[in-house]
C-alpha cells in the first residue's frame, strides 16, 4: 500500500511537514493532530501517528507515538506494508535507546534488520538500513561484524586508498546482517579482488576473506 497524494490525511501531513520546514512548529503540530483526528482507518492513523511522533519534545511521548504508529501499521493487511516496518522499527529502537532502555532498543533494531530486505535499493532504503546498522553497532549487538574486514577498511581509510573503499563501503555501511546484505558484501569483495588494485598482502587477506564469507 502506497501513500496517495490525493488522500486528505496524506495532504495534511504534507502541509504539516511544509510548516515544520518553514519554522511554523505550532502550525505543523496542529496539522498532524488534525490528520490523527480525521483518520478513518489504521493505514491513515499509522501515517498520522508517525508524523505526530516527530513533534514530541518528551522522549517518552515520542516513544509512545512511534510505538502507536508501528502497532497500527501491523494491523493493516497486506505484504505491501512490510516496506514501512524497517523505518518504523528504527524509530522505535532509537526512542528506546534515547531513554536508555538498551535491551528494548536492540529488540527493535534487530526487528528492523529482519524486515530490511523489504526495502528498495535506493538512497532512502540505504539510509534506513544504515540507520539500523548503526543502531545495532551502538548497542554492540551487530552479529555480522567481521574484524578482518573492519581492519582492512581502517587501513584503507588511513592510507586514503579511495578505490577499494569505493568498492566495499556502499555494501558495508548498509549491512544489517540479512542474507541479501551478505550477498552484497561477497559481490563487492569479489569485484574488488578482480580489480587487482591492492598490494600483495591486502589481496591475499581479501581472497581469504571472500572464502570465509562464503562458508
Angle at 48 between CA 178 and CA 43, to 5 degrees: 65
133 and 151 housed in the same domain: no
Do both 81 and 13 map to the same domain? yes
Together in a domain, 201 and 131: no
Q: How many distinct structural domains can be found in the chain?
A: 2
Range of the domain at 56: 8-138
8 Å CB contact between 28 and 55: yes
3-state secondary structure of 205: helix
Check residue 177 and give left, alpha or beta (phi > 0: left; psi -120 to 50: alpha). left
- Are residues 116 and 72 part of one domain? yes
Q: What is the reported pTM?
A: 0.78
What does each of the 215 residues of the chain score in pLDDT, given as a tens digit? 678 899 999 999 999 999 999 999 999 999 999 999 999 999 999 999 999 999 999 999 999 999 999 999 999 988 889 999 999 999 999 999 999 999 999 999 999 999 998 998 888 998 999 999 999 989 988 776 788 999 999 999 999 999 999 999 988 887 887 788 888 899 999 999 999 999 999 999 999 999 988 87
Say whether both 26 and 132 belong to one domain: yes
Are the C-beta atoms of residues 58 and 99 closer than 8 Å to each other? no
Amino acid at each position: 500500500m502506497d501513500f496517495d497524494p490525493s488522500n486528505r490525511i496524506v495532504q495534511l501531513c504534507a502541509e504539516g511537514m511544509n510548516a515544520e520546514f518553514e519554522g511554523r512548529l505550532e502550525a505543523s503540530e496542529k496539522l498532524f493532530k488534525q490528520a490523527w483526528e480525521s483518520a478513518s482507518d489504521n493505514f491513515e492513523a499509522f501515517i498520522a501517528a508517525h508524523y505526530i511522533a516527530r513533534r514530541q519534545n518528551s522522549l517518552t511521548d515520542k516513544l509512545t507515538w512511534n510505538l502507536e504508529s508501528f502497532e497500527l501499521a501491523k494491523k493493516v493487511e497486506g505484504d505491501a506494508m512490510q516496506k514501512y516496518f524497517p523505518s518504523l522499527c528504527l524509530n522505535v529502537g532509537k526512542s528506546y535507546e534515547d531513554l536508555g532502555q538498551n535491551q528494548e532498543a536492540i529488540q527493535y533494531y534487530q526487528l528492523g534488520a529482519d524486515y530490511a530486505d523489504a526495502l528498495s535499493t535506493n538512497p532512502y532504503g540505504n539510509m534506513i538500513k544504515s540507520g539500523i546498522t548503526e543502531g545495532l553497532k551502538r548497542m554492540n549487538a551487530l552479529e555480522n561484524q567481521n574484524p578482518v574486514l573492519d581492519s582492512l577498511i581502517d587501513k584503507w581509510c588511513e592510507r586514503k586508498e579511495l578505490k577499494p573503499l569505493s568498492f566495499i563501503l556502499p555494501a558495508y555501511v548498509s549491512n544489517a546482517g540479512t542474507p541479501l546484505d551478505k550477498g552484497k558484501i561477497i559481490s563487492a569483495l569479489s569485484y574488488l579482488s578482480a580489480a587487482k588494485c591492492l598490494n600483495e598482502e591486502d589481496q591475499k587477506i581479501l581472497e581469504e576473506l571472500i572464502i570465509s564469507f562464503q562458508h
